[in-house]
Structure 1
Amino acid sequence: MAGGDRMTGKRLPLEGFRVLELGHYIAGPFAARLLADMGAEVIKVEPPEGDPHRGWGSQVDGHAVWFSIHGRNKLCVSLDLKSAEGREKVKRIAASCDALIENFRPGYLERIGLGPEVLQAINPRLTIARVSGYGQDGPYRDKPAFGSIGEAMGGIRHLTATPGVTEHPPPRCGVSIADDIAGIYAAMAVLGAAWAAKGDPAAKGRIIDVDLVSSVFSLMEGMLPEYGLFGWVRQPQGAALPTAAPTNTYLCADGKWLCVGGNSDAIYKRLMKVVGREDLGEDPRMATNNGRCANVQEIDAAIGAWTITLPAAEAERRLEAVDVPVSRLYDIKDCAEDPHFRARQTVMEVDDPLLNRRLLHPAPPFRFDGVSPPEMVRWTAPAVGAHNDRVFGELLQEEPKA
């Protein structure tokens, strides 16, 4: 089927791979967008009024700016899944798809007659990725959840607290990180299932179960075995880490913050020389990472005493000169204007016909040789039902509506 309004002429790795998206809000559509950015033909099914996410955040003429990214590279069709006609069309579309991604509450698709057993009876090769709050089984299966709940129960929100501060709640990171992580895992799992079926004409589609809580929990590094072996419960460390030192964020003279990573033996010595504390750099107690972790407060105090005397940009320049990992804390303005972001086209300009504007988009986070990042964005999010005639006409052989 023809893709969108502008094709690259270059081959992306998932061209010819067709995905049906029944998700809404963030996690499922984010997974589908990653596949679409890699060239998959994603058919996004929305209710007639559109995905609720179309109304989130800042808007231009009633169209959400964020959705320009969220729905990019997708063919958008509108169907009422509560109607027999809508469900029948979903079945017919699914018959020609390689994968389906959904993130409804567990059991919803079964209740409306679109469960895996129904869809895979029509298309045995269909892989179905199911993204939910707590998973498709277990005692919490039917509880409602959003990304914030995944952060809370998955353990990361406990770690974002400021040590010793109880009057303010532990902050979230500022984006829907649990949904995004689950979306990444769902996309990875779909590709894993596709690889397993590669070259096998008799391969059966897989059922993939991804949940927000487990996705966040997977990031907890060594905390679970530490608890199991030693009973340790890792506590919030602010901007530091208990397993590496020095790695922290330090206040500068102009009120800006500087993130410094000096947690290798050689880098640590260079860092301490720049800050004027060669004595700490040569201190045998701090020759290894474990020793530095045990004395991290002394090290952090020395670095902080140096950064507070300099503007952040100057402190950054001096540390970069001796190859110490360092960065000021960027806001979105810094990201948008940084020459590295622009040179790599991590920040790129695209035309959005729906908004009638030229927008900044983040590039797909992966690169494929022979295809530039702007070429991967074949089109921005279309209007609700923009591709009804194309999808229904080409796939379902329906006559376009007048």
Structure 2
Amino acid sequence: MANPRRPLAGIVIVDAVAGPLAPATRYLAELGADVVRIETPKTGRSAREQLKDAAANNGKTLQVIDYAQPRDREKLGRLIESADALIMDAHHALSGQPGFIAADLSRRYPQKLVVACSDFGQGNSCSKWQATDAVLHALTGELSRSGIAGQAPLLPPGELAVQCSAVQLAYVVLTGLVQRAQTGTGDLIDYSMLDGAMQALDPGYGISGSATMGKPAHLLSTDRPPRGFLYPIIRCADGHVRICLLAARQWRGMFEWMGRPEEFASPEFEKMNARFKSPTLIPAISAFFADKTGDELEAGAKTYGVPLSALLDGSEAVAAKHFKDRQTFAPAKLRDGTEISLPNGVLELDGQRMAAGIQVAAEPVSMSPPPVPGLPLSGLKVLDLGVIVVGGEQGRLLADLGADVVKIESRAFPDGTRQSDGALGISTSFAAGHRNKRSLGLNLRSDEGKAIFERLVAKADVILTNFKPGTMESLGLGYDHLQGIKPDIILVESSAFGPTGPWAKRMGYGPLVRAATGLTTQWRYRDDPESYSDSVTIYPDHVGGRISILGVLALLLDRKRSGTGGRICSSQAEIVLAHQGWQIAAAQSGLVDPLEPQDVPWGVFPTAGEDEWCAITVRDEADWSKLCQLLPKLDTGMARSDRLAHRKAIEAELIVWLQKRTATQAMETLQQAGIPAGRMNRIADLPEFAAYRERGTFRMETHPHLPDAFFSEAVIAKSERLAPPPTRPAPLAGEHSAEVMEEWLGIGSTEIDTLAQNGVIEPLSVDIETAIRELKGRSHE
């Protein structure tokens, strides 16, 4: 296509990231930034290293630098001087080079964005520690929720923690670039891979799914969930399927599909809790599914409006017609010429996939300064139609940066995360996920409501949605219509499987996305094929929200220059597949076995105390030598092949050592020796864990309609110029209807009253004092 649009065109980023965060700038390269990757001369890299390198750095420009050569050092200096941003991490050879210290470079070039990345951040008691994906899962609380009750915690498959942290880093970098374009001044950001993994994978103090009924994660059981808990996986004639019955209308569809069995005819079954408690419902559904194939069940589910997906393994998912039709993967080559396939970008802009390797020339980017210093999106107007987790997260990310985010709500179709024990529809989960927003109750099914929405669009900058593709068009509010009202409007459409392809109209929740992409079949104990263990995980919702916001921030940078907005589409399923990019390439090419452990011990091991565990990763010969110093019975000279052959004996010796120590003692001893290790934190442990506490990662917040204060995320990243997120409490449904109508549209109280009487505007409809008395009464019971 001639002159393809790339919103980050003209932005130059020097990438000196050698560790697992390297994919962060690949997302920016896909959006058109010129990402120049700095490497030292290398030879003899393994096939595994080449595959990881290809997946992380696809679309970047390579610049080989020999620091011992004065000419190369001068060349690097000129490159940094001409760039807009420098991203460097502690694993890279540039780190610590004289003249190339992050803080010094920031002082020397105050107009540049400098991001210094490390495993645990700078200036805290864990700063010298080392992290791996397993350690991040342990320390973020994700590990404590993965597995089956009564069994050992189970490390999630792949490298989800570091992949999610890389996306958070991309979000932080783009935020810094927006602020730089507004002010002409750069920033020095101290980025912690641990913080990023906690924020973007499955934050314990963030918004959670509707199945938790609004309960904060730290109040849930400290054990892993029981087998089959939530989103059950059920045998069918040719495999397994997963169902996701959340809303009452979905249950009604299931009830009709089963032939209206009298046993489940009670209206009580429209309540999620009643369905969870029923000892006979899942057996009845299992009997109904038993003689039907996965294809037949998917077809029936579509007819009756039941969220369902066949459970695919990795190879089945990659080969699915949906992903082939959407060109989810594209041909690529390793540096030695070996042909592989890699993910083909995770965003679409105006129907065009943002694939790696396409760059166009563009003028420098500039924007007007924000009304509130430190909040780069202050003054931005956002209409938030998003629901559940990914929808809530998209708006919250913009609101935390100062945007005026108005959540559009309707009593007829309430947001699933409004579920709580009280009439106010406020829980700690909702309070965390919708802070800094306002709420407008608006009936979009009425002509008058639609007309009001169109007037709001004329004032807006961004519209956020995460409906099934075609929903906005069915309301008469498709992108072409919206663009006719506001030519530079930015529309986000996040969906489970993308806007096109055979699965586009499928109902999509995170559990179904994981089932359809092969992740669920990997997330189980190796000796138990039906031990599916991802039931309480909320992935890829949080990271999916961030991917969409990358598109928004990129378009905001480009809008002043181009005069146009754009339609950003993302597929949660393609995000999951992109996070497995090198493993998929490995499996398809046969170059390496992505599941083969690189060394031993590697995994989660019991320590002293009841249900206490420590994640440990021995990565290489250096780590093995360090471990042998702690455990003298181990043989330093044992070859890797022998270690793999005697893995059980080696790990048994380690467990003897661990069971004399608490998880904290074991972690500290191993980390001081230079071996990556992390105790299994539960959610309640996070605020007091040293790295979080010393960095101020969390803060206490209050809500006027919640009885207790609660923890929430305090910072986007440690920055010299970004302000902390504001502290406006999450809204009640329709709480700001009159306020928004007056501020955005100048509509007075008389007209608002008339619109409310006609059911067009939905103001706050609950008696707050009565609801609070009821809530307090329950809290004393």
- TM normalised by structure 1 equals 0.85
Deviation, 1:125, is 0.8
Pair 1:380 & 2:740 matched: no
For residue 156 of structure 1, report the CA deviation from its aligned partner. Answer: 2.0
SS in 2 for 1:19: strand
Q: Match of 1:259? A: 615
CA-to-partner distance for each residue in 1:254-300, whole Å, 9 max, x for gaps? 24110113314433321231133451x333x23xxx99778755654
The answer to whether the Cα contact below 8 Å between 1:269 and 1:278 also exists between their aligned partners in 2 is no
Alignment-derived partner of residue 219 in structure 1: 579
Number of the residue aligned with 1:276: 632
Deviations 1:160-179 (A, max 9, x none): 1100213x431116332122
CA distance in 2, matches of 1:97, 1:27: 21
Distance in 1 (alpha carbons) for counterparts of 2:628 and 2:423: 50
Structure 1 residue identity aligned to 2:564: K
* Of 194, 199, 204, the match for 2:564: 204
Which sits farther off after the overlay, 69-78 or 173-182? Answer: 173-182
Correspondences of 1:223-262 after superposition (within 5 Å): 223-230=583-590, 242-243=597-598, 246-255=601-610, 256-262=612-618
Q: Answer yes or no: is 1:19 the counterpart of 2:379.
A: no
Which has the larger Rg?
2
Contact 1:53/1:67, CA 8 A, preserved across alignment: no
Q: Is the 8 A contact 2:497 2:574 kept in 1?
A: yes
Instruction: Give the structure 2 partner of residue 238 of structure 1.
Output: none
Contact 2:424/2:732, CA 8 A, preserved across alignment: no
The answer (yes or no) to whether the contact 2:472–2:478 under 8 Å persists in 1 is yes
In the alignment, which residue of structure 2 is the partner of 1:390?
Answer: 739
2:553 — aligned with what? 191
Q: Deviations over 1:58-117 (max 9, x none)?
A: 669652221001111112111111111221222121222222110111111101111101
Q: What aligned pairs does 1:51-70 form with structure 2 within 5 A after superposition? A: 51-56=414-419, 62-70=425-433
Q: 1:137 to 1:85 in 2, by over 3 A?
A: same
Q: CA deviation at 1:145?
A: 1.6
For 1:5, the equivalent position in structure 2 comes to: none
CA, structure 1 residues 272+174, in 2 after alignment: closer, same or farther (shift >3 Å)? Answer: farther
1:172 match: 534
- Deviations along 1:287-336, whole A, 9 cap, x unmatched? xxx99778755654443342234332322232233232222101112113
Please show how residues 59-98 of structure 1 align to structure 2 within 5 Å: 62-98=425-461
Q: Report SS of the residue matched to 1:352.
A: coil
Any conservation in 2 of the 1:92–1:396 contact (CA below 8 Å)? yes
Q: Which residue of 2 aligns with 1:318?
A: 669
Tell me the alpha carbon deviations over residues 335-355 of structure 1, each in whole angstroms, 9 at most, x when there is no partner: 133343233222211121132
The runs of 5 or more residues in structure 2 that have no matched partner are 1-370, 754-781
SS at match of 2:503: coil
Aligned-residue RMSD, C-alpha: 2.8
Identity value in percent: 24
CA distance in 1, matches of 2:398, 2:534: 27
Indicate conservation of the 8 Å contact 2:436/2:728, yes or no. Answer: yes
Contact 1:354 1:382 in 2 (8 A): no
In structure 2, distance between residues paired with 1:244 and 1:365: 35
Give the match for residue 338 of structure 1. 689
CA distance in 1, matches of 2:633, 2:525: 27
Go from structure 1 to structure 2 and tell me whether the alpha carbon gap of 1:291 and 1:111 turns closer, same or farther (over 3 Å shift): farther
- Name the stretch that deviates more: 45-54 or 170-179: 45-54
Structure 1 unmatched ranges of 5 or more: 1-7, 236-240
Seen in structure 2, the aligned counterparts of structure 1 residues 68 and 123 have a Cα distance that, compared at 3 Å, is: same
CA distance in 2, matches of 1:52, 1:160: 29
